[in-house]
Amino acid sequence: MGRVIVVTSGKGGVGKTTSTANLGTALALLGKTVVIVDADVGLRNLDIVMGLESRIVYTSMDVIDKHCELSKALVRDRRVDGLTLLAASQKNNKDDIQPAQMKAICDKLRSTHDFVLVDSPAGIERGFSNASAGADEAIVVTTPDVSAIRDADRIIGLIQHARIEPINLVINRFSPELVGNGSMMDQADVMDILNIDLLGIVPEDTGVITSTNRGIPLVYEETSAAAHAYMRIARRLTGQQIPIPDLEQKGLFTSILNWFTRKS
């Protein structure tokens, strides 16, 4: 029986879709069977980030409307074994789907996959209740800024209310330099407020923009710091004990290193 994990944040633009795409790909690279589900009906993006937009024929709406079998709507990612995408309909809106219908889809997918990652839309309305309807676990993505954290806090409250457990936190777009000079909240501040288990920290990486535009998730590239972070998070999801590296200290180290390399 696979695990259904909803990836959510409350606030938009903190990296839910990027995280879903990278964690899904990373889990597949680790040999798991994964389906990533776009629950952002009407504003779908996951297909673009995955580079699969041209291959979508059926969406979850077609499955619900019984236009096709669920297995036919799954788009297989040819770059890695065991990774498929269930796209959202771009023509409909979130109210066209009921939470129970989403749950039914997730329950079916669970029987054939190790991991079902559901990419939740921003907000706390129907889109969120649809995305979380079939989930048994949640990953809350936040950036270390006050507005994202307040929204994450709100969504954690709603997830707890829905009795979804465990809830794990991913701190995205973490910038050791900004923390170093005091203009960004550090890990301890974030954990103090949100007070849930930390699954990982993804450093700020401009490579995310190019990877999104090219439709190639970062985890395919060995060189990126964010890719390494996502790989580590994926390993933790599979139950491996991987320590969370202290990015704040590494930040100081790399800034000293940068200072030396600039001099020479």
Partner 1 sequence: MANSIVALRAYRDGLHLIIKPHLSITEIEKAIQEEISRMNRPLNGASIQIDLKAPALQEEDMAYLRSKLKDTYNLTVREFMVVSEEPTPPPIAAAPTTHIITPAVNPPNSRESEPSRIIPYTIRSGQTEDFPQGSLIIYGDVNSGAEVRAGGDIVVLGALRGNAHAGMNGRLSSVIIAMNLVPMQLQISNYLNRIAIGEKSRGYPEIARIGKEDVIIVERFVKF
* 214 counts as binding partner 1 under rule CB under 8 A: no
Q: Which listed residue (146, 209, 256, 257) binds partner 1 by CB under 8 A?
A: 146
Q: Of the two residues 47 and 151, which places its CB atom closer to partner 1 in the complex?
A: 151
Q: Of the two residues 196 and 216, which places its CB atom closer to partner 1 in the complex?
A: 196
Q: Give me the least distance between CB of 39 and partner 1, in Å please.
A: 21
Task: Identify which range of 11-19, 23-31, 150-158, 199-207 contacts partner 1 by CB under 8 A.
Answer: 150-158
**What is the residue whose two structure tokens read 């236009």?**
67
Q: Tally Cβ neighbours within 10 Å of residue 92.
A: 16
Size of the site for partner 1 (CB under 8 A): 13
* 156 counts as binding partner 1 under rule CB under 8 A: yes
Task: Identify which range of 166-174, 187-195, 201-209, 240-248 contacts partner 1 by CB under 8 A.
Answer: 187-195
Task: Identify which range of 20-28, 79-87, 156-164, 201-209 contacts partner 1 by CB under 8 A.
Answer: 156-164
* 198 counts as binding partner 1 under rule CB under 8 A: no
Type of residue at 30: L
* 157 counts as binding partner 1 under rule CB under 8 A: yes
* 153 counts as binding partner 1 under rule CB under 8 A: yes
Q: List, as one string, the DSSP characters of 26-75.
A: HHHHTT--EEEEE--TTS--HHHHTT-GGG----HHHHHTTSS-HHHHEE
* 193 counts as binding partner 1 under rule CB under 8 A: yes
* 125 counts as binding partner 1 under rule CB under 8 A: no
Q: Which listed residue (69, 154, 197, 210) binds partner 1 by CB under 8 A?
A: 154
Q: Of the two residues 192 and 246, which places its CB atom closer to partner 1 in the complex?
A: 192
Q: List, as one string, the DSSP characters of the chain.
A: -PEEEEEE-SSSSSSHHHHHHHHHHHHHHTT--EEEEE--TTS--HHHHTT-GGG----HHHHHTTSS-HHHHEEEPTTSTTEEEEPPPSSS-GGGS-HHHHHHHHHHHHHH-SEEEEEPPSSSSHHHHHHHHT-SEEEEEE-SSHHHHHHHHHHHHHHHHTT---EEEEEEEE-HHHHHTTSS--HHHHHHHH-SEEEEEEE--THHHHHHHHT--GGG-SS-HHHHHHHHHHHHHTT-------HHHHHHHHHHHHHHHHH-
Q: Give me the least distance between CB of 70 and partner 1, in Å please.
A: 34
Task: Identify which range of 45-53, 82-90, 145-153, 250-258 contacts partner 1 by CB under 8 A.
Answer: 145-153
Task: Identify which range of 23-31, 94-102, 147-155, 177-185 contacts partner 1 by CB under 8 A.
Answer: 147-155
Binding site for partner 1 (CB under 8 A): 124, 146, 150-151, 153-154, 156-158, 160, 192-193, 195
